[in-house]
C-alpha cells in the first residue's frame, strides 16, 4: 500500500516511502518500490567546526561524543585519555561553542 512513514534511529531520522508497481512496469508481477531518505542533517565537518569555533581535532572528536550524550568517563575511555583530560576538553568545547550543556552541543553541531 503506498504511503510514508517516519523512523527515528539512534543516529538519524529517516522518511520511508513505498508504492506498488504493477506487473506492466518490469513484466514480472507486482512489486514494491521503497525509498529510504535520511532527514537528519549530516552535521558540520571538521573544517567547519575549526573555522567557525576554533575547535582542534581532539575537541571535534570530544564534541561529537558529547553530542551523543557521552559522560566524561566514557569520553576518556573511548579516546584513551584520563578523565581529567576528557573533562578539560569538554570544558573547552562548551566554552568555544558558547553553550552550557551536551544537548546544546548537539544542536550546535547541526547548525
What's the Cα-to-Cα distance from 101 to each of 24, 71, 96, rounded to whole Å?
A: 56, 11, 12
Q: What is the 3-state secondary structure (H, E, C) of 44-107?
A: CCHHHHHHHHCCCHHHHHHHHHHHCCCCHHHHHHHHCCCHHHHHHHHHHHHHHHCCCCHHHHHH
Confidence (pLDDT) at 10: 64
Domains and CATH numbers, the chain: 3-38 (no CATH), 46-109 (1.10.10.10)
Please tell me the pTM assigned to this model: 0.63
Report the DSSP beta bridge partners of residue 18.
3, 34
Please list the pLDDT of the chain residue by residue as tens digits (111 residues): 457 888 887 667 889 998 888 777 666 778 888 899 888 766 778 888 889 999 999 999 999 999 888 999 999 999 999 999 999 999 999 999 999 998 899 888 876
Amino acid at each position: 500500500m503506498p504511503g510514508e512513514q517516519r523512523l527515528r534511529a539512534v543516529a538519524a531520522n529517516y522518511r520511508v516511502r513505498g508504492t506498488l508497481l504493477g506487473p506492466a512496469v518490469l513484466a514480472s508481477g507486482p512489486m514494491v518500490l521503497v525509498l529510504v531518505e535520511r532527514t537528519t542533517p549530516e552535521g558540520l565537518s571538521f573544517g567547519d567546526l575549526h573555522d567557525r569555533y576554533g575547535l582542534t581535532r581532539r575537541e571535534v572528536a570530544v564534541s561529537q561524543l558529547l553530542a551523543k550524550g557521552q559522560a566524561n568517563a566514557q569520553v576518556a575511555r573511548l579516546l584513551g585519555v584520563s578523565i581529567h583530560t576528557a573533562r578539560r576538553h569538554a570544558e573547552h568545547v562548551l566554552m568555544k561553542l558558547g553553550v552550557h550543556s551536551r544537548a546544546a552541543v548537539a544542536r550546535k553541531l547541526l547548525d
